[in-house]
Each structure stands twice: as C-alpha cells, then as structure tokens.
Structure 1
Amino acid sequence: MPAMHSLPPAHRPLEDALALGPALLARARSAEAAPWLAASLVEGPAVVLGAAQRAARVVDLAACAARGAKVLRRATTGTAAFLGGRGVVWTLALPHVASLAPDATARTLLNRNVRGFLKGFSRAGAPAHYFGREWISLQRRPAALLGLDAAPDGAVLIEVFAGHDAALALPPELAAPDERAVDRWLGKVPAALSDVVPARSSLEALARAVVEGIATWAALPLIDGGEAPELAAERFQPITAPDDPVPPGASAAALARVPIGWIEAAALSDVPPARVWLGGDVLTARWLLDALGSGEVPLDAEASPLEGATLADLSALARRALAPGRAPEG
C-alpha cells in the first residue's frame, strides 16, 4: 500500500536541514519510489539563498557578517529566506510530480502540491492560502517561502521555510540594492509564525501539524522512515564569495527583470562551444538552467517546472550574455 515516509520533527543545525533535501530526494528516487517528508527545527540568524541566486546580487555579505547572520545556499531554486531566530524547514521529496496530486503537471507542481501545506497550517490554527509563485499566506500575510528543484527523471524536491521569531523577509540593511528594488511581498507585510499561529502551539507541534496535514490531504498513511539518512552537510556551509555560485572566470553578470524579480546570466567562455551560467530568482529545475546555458532549449523543457519567468526570458538573457561588446551589468 502506498505510504508517506516521514522523519519526525527534530532540532537540526540549519546546514543539516538543507542537506536533508538531496538526501530525501535520493530516497524518493530509489527502487521503492515513495514520497518522503521531514520537518527540521532550526536556529538563525541566517539568510538562505535559492540555489541559483548570485550572492552579491541578493545580500550585502559584509552587513550579514557584522550582524552574525550566516549566508547559506539551499538545493532548491527560488528567492532568499531570512531566519532571524527559530524557524522550521519542511522538506518534501517526491518520486514524480504527480505522486500526491494525480492531476499535477510540471507547470502546476507548486499549485497542486502546496495544498497539503495549506491544510497543515490551517489545522495548526493559521488559515493558509496560496496565490502563486513563491510564498504561502497565513492569516492573509506572507509567512512561508517555497523552493523547488526537479531531477531529469521527474523526481521533485520542495522545501518550505518559515521563521517563528522573525518574518522571513530579508531585512533591508542586509539586502543588496538590486534586491531592495523588488517588492517581494506585493505590498503586504510578512509575518513571523508567532504572529499568526495561536500562542498555545509549540513550534514542534506546528511542525508536526503541517506534516500530518500533508499526509491527510494526500490520503496516505504516515509511516516512520526510520533512521535519518547520512547528510552531506559540507555542501551547505556558509558562503563568502560575492559571485557564488557563478564559476570562476565568468564574465560580469547580465541582469533582466522578470515577474519574480531578477534572472542573471554570465558567459563562461567566448569560444565554441559557448556556455552561459544562468540563474536568478526563478523557481525551476537546476538541470534546465544548465541546459539552457548550453544554448539549446531541450526537447523536454516543458516537462520541467518553471515559475516566475519564461523559457524565452531565460534564452534571451543567455544570448545577451554572449553578445560581443556587451556592457557589464550587475
């Protein structure tokens, strides 16, 4: 009988919580092909960048260091989350896009699979809604941030971040100018979990309620996943290089505005075969960004999730990054 495999909510270093994503995705892609779910109770202060966000375009690394806020990078794409104190990271790994929602497709991935989180938050006493793209609204305020990645074989990783003691919005004094230019929250004031969840609910109880809500929504029994997997936490250590994750020797970044914020490109070479690093705030699969950076739109591009920009946006920026004589930007 199909089941949802789960690790019980546990306190974890933030680096371990981020490393849990690839580890559970590997389990979801195994021969058993079952969905996996975990909740990690974490501590900040820290900024968690999306997998494809160039550090210096999002944060002022010196200001973060002065405040004692680590800058880390997660495995999922999307926008940055700020954890000012205690927080929760939920990790959901699926063997394929329709594992929980039979009508889900690559382009409706978040719309369908976020519904379990909405049920979980609501059962914890915080009515939840999702209006698209990268955040969940609790009590009509942005309060949880989404990240996603997908493997070429269709397996999916979704991460949800929420701060308990402080809202997840990046404080202006820690943000780079390009980041401050974006209205991430559509004029709304982001909330901490402590602002929108009943005070009687502990953070661990909230984390568990969301896990149980997802399983209930999916109509799957929740079974103990046993021992936690071995984690490659060394991949998720603090970032100190301004251009991380752009490879060394790349050209200056080219920027373009898109509905979700910014996309970025940098030429890795100007001799055939020309290659481009593509990144930014977009919610998509990292393999798709790599493929588009090679100059071709793969035949299965439509089978990859893409939120906040279009294939045409990304391809056009990649071509511009390779244009002779392009003035540096970013």
Structure 2
Amino acid sequence: MRCLPTAYRSLREAMMLAPTLLDAARQEGRPWMAGSLVEGPAILLGAAQRAGRVVKLAACAEAGISVFRRATTGTAVHLGGRGVVWTLALPDVAALAHDATARTVLNRNVRFFLKGFGRAGVQAHYFGREWISIRRRPAAVIAAETTVEGAVVLEVWSGLDASLALPGRCAAPEELVLDRWLGKQPAALAEVLPAGVTPEILVEEVLVGIAAAAQVTREPVELRTGELSGLVDGSSGFGLPSSPPVAVSLERVPIGWIEAETLPAGDSLASESATRETCPRVWLGGDVITGTWVLDALARGATSGDGSSTPRLEPDAVILEGATLEVLGTLAQRARSR
C-alpha cells in the first residue's frame, strides 16, 4: 500500500487527495492512503449536495465560514478550527477486505479505521450510516466517491477543536429538521482523545493501524503539489455553485434528503464539476454516499425514457448508502414529469 506522509495541508490540498489517490489506485491497481491535518473555519459540502438545502450561504459569509464542495459524496461537515482527514483509495472493493462487496465495502473498510483508532487508545464504533462514534458520541464522518470501473475512495473527517455538526445559524431549514446524530451529542476529538495523544500521533497511528489490520506493508511515497487533481475555490469546480438553486422534488431517506431538478436544455451545470462529464437534463443529488456517476447515470436514464444511455446499475454492484437505486430513480423520474 502506498502511503503519503502525514502532513499539515491546506483544505484544498487535503480535498484534492481524494480524486488524486482514487485515480492513482485505479491506474496502478494498488491501494493508497494519506492522513492530513487541516484547519477551518469551513463547511465542506458533499459532492452531490445542493448548497441552498444544506446551508445559508449569506449566514456563512457573515460568520466568516468558507463553504467548499468536496469531491466525495455524503453529508456536509463543519470544521470550526483544526481538523483531520484520512483518505483511503482502493482499486476495487475487495482490495483490502477480501470478502468485501459493493454492499459491504464501507462496513468492511471502516473496520480498519476502528482498528487504527484503537491503536491510538481510542474506543471507536461504527453502526452504519455516515458517522463513527468515539466514547458513544459521533466524532467522525465518512464520505466516498467511486468510479464506473469499481475503484473507491473513502474519507474520514473529524474535528479537533469543535464537532463536525453544522452551526445552527448557518444551517438551512431542511437541514435543521434532521436528526443527523440520532439524538446524540457530537464530539470534538479534543473531548475524547486520551491524555498524551496529540493530533499528529492520532493521524499516524490510525494509518499504521489500517495497514496492520489489513496485513499490508506501507510504502512511503511523496506526492508533488503539481500532481494533485485540479480543485478551485468557491466559484466553480468542486466549489460553488455546482447544484441548482432549487429542487422541485425533495424526499426524506434514512441518511437525510435526496432531491432532483429538471434542468433547461443546454444547461452547463454538470460540466462545472470534474467528476461529471456530461450534462443530464435531470439533476439528481442529496446526502447519499455513492459515486457521482451513479447519480448522473440515473438522471440520464430518467431523461432517456428507455434507459439506453444508462450504464448497467444493479443493487449488488453499486456502492450506495442512505437510499436505494429504486428510490433515487423514481425521484429523478418524478422531476422529469413535472
């Protein structure tokens, strides 16, 4: 397994690692991982989240909180100060956990992170959904992106000085009605780390623990900044805006919301994101953890009527947490019929 050195990185550099390492894992056929120490304040939206449904951009600006869009899908995280992110890229779902499938890849690989936390003396648990608990409090959030060929990259985000929960003053009404943490109080790592465990020690111990649990050898490598996948600020690319201002179809799912919008002909929305190569007439997004290509494929299938432009999508072959293919496809079809 190739492993980048633990380092302090800018948020942009840390977010760039997901698409960069995903591409490297896909091309080389071997896993990559990295640990980064970062600093906010910032809110990081999931790749498929509509900004206006998650945050109040004006309130964020007034509070001095930058808003960015990750390359990975899933829910938004707030970095109120210092934070950490681990990035693990796999060439296929069974690269480390040999019994893993598309259905179980999150669970199987999150176990390696739990082992890593344990190595640092941190008792962590994962019961599904999008977050990891430490000392029975939500303290880390999982995000992911996948490729059509089956490669996958996982991110695990955690806040050191403040929990990852969005500040109430910055959260949109649709976000405020959700019980993201199932009635539990999210924790900052500073509240739950054992004495003597510094952020640097934690990040490195988790990486060592992942490799040990997966029974692979770490191969230290360097990555030049010029090799990072392109990422720009809040005006385009993985920044904002890259989702429609409103959604005509909105539906609750176990992980939060999914939503769809019919786009006018010739709309260039999808081309603003490096992960979306063509522009579907229907935009489909939300809080789900999946590949952006899956959402785009469902959107294109919803507009074509016969599904001829949609890659083959089977529940057992698609990484998807938080909703089902059927529910997503139905929502896209509903948006098309409006």
Between the aligned partners of 1:210 and 1:37, the Cα distance in structure 2 is 11
Check conservation: 1:39, 1:211, Cα contact below 8 A: yes
User: Which of 272, 291, 302 is matched with 2:297 structurally?
Assistant: 291
Q: 1:154 aligns with which of 141, 150, 155?
A: 150
1:87 partner SS: strand
Q: Would you say the 8 A contact 1:72–1:236 is kept in 2?
A: no
Contact 1:266/1:276 (CA < 8 Å) preserved in 2?
yes
Partner of 1:264: 259
The alpha carbon displacement at 1:246 in A equals 2.3
Q: 1:328: which partner in 2?
A: none
Question: Does 2:104 correspond to 1:108?
Answer: yes
Q: Which amino acid aligns with 2:116?
A: G
Given candidates 320, 326, 330, the residue that maps to 1:306 is: 320
Change (3 A) 1:88 1:69: same
Letter in 2 for 1:66: E
1: CA distance between counterparts of 2:192 and 2:246? 44
SS state of the match for residue 106, structure 1? coil
* Residue-by-residue CA offset, 1:174-197 (whole Å, 9 max, x unaligned): 100000010000000000001111
Q: Partner residue of 1:40?
A: 36
In structure 2, the partner of 1:280 is: 286
Cα 1:235–1:78 change in 2 (3 A) is same
Of 208, 211, 215, which aligns to 1:212? 208
Q: Alignment partner of 2:22: what SS?
A: helix
Q: Distance in 2 between matches of 1:300 and 1:130?
A: 27
Report deviation, 1:229: 5.5
Counterpart residue type for residue 141 of structure 2: L
CA separation of 1:270 and 1:12: change in aligned 2, threshold 3 A:
closer
Within-5 A mapping of 1:128-147: 128-147=124-143
**Do the aligned residues in 1 keep the contact of 2:49 with 2:243 (CA within 8 Å)?**
no
| Structure 1 range deviating more: 233-242 or 4-13 | 233-242
CA apart distance, 1:8: 1.2
Deviations 1:237-291 (A, max 9, x none): 23599983226xx8743211111110010112479x9821100001111111000
Per-residue CA shift, 1:76-99, capped at 9, x if unaligned? 100001110000011111000100
3-state SS in 2 of match to 1:125: coil
2:241 aligns with one of 238, 241, 244:
244
CA distance in 2, matches of 1:157, 1:313: 24
1:198 aligns with 2:194: yes
2:336 matched to which residue of 1?
322
Query: Which sections of structure 2, spanning at least 5 residues, go unmatched?
Result: 267-278
Q: 1:156 to 1:42 in 2, by over 3 A?
A: same
Among 7, 10, 13, the residue aligned to 2:7: 10
Q: CA deviation at 1:298?
A: 3.8
Q: Tell me the TM-score normalized by structure 2.
A: 0.89
Q: CA deviation at 1:236?
A: 4.2
Give the CA RMSD over aligned residues: 2.1
Distance 2:195 2:337 in 1: 56
From 61, 67, 86, the equivalent of 1:65 is: 61
Q: Please tell me the residue identity of whatever aligns with 2:283.
A: W
Counterpart amino acid of residue 321 in structure 1: A
The TM-score normalised by the length of structure 1 is 0.91
CA–CA distance in 2 between the matches of 1:159 and 1:54?
Answer: 20
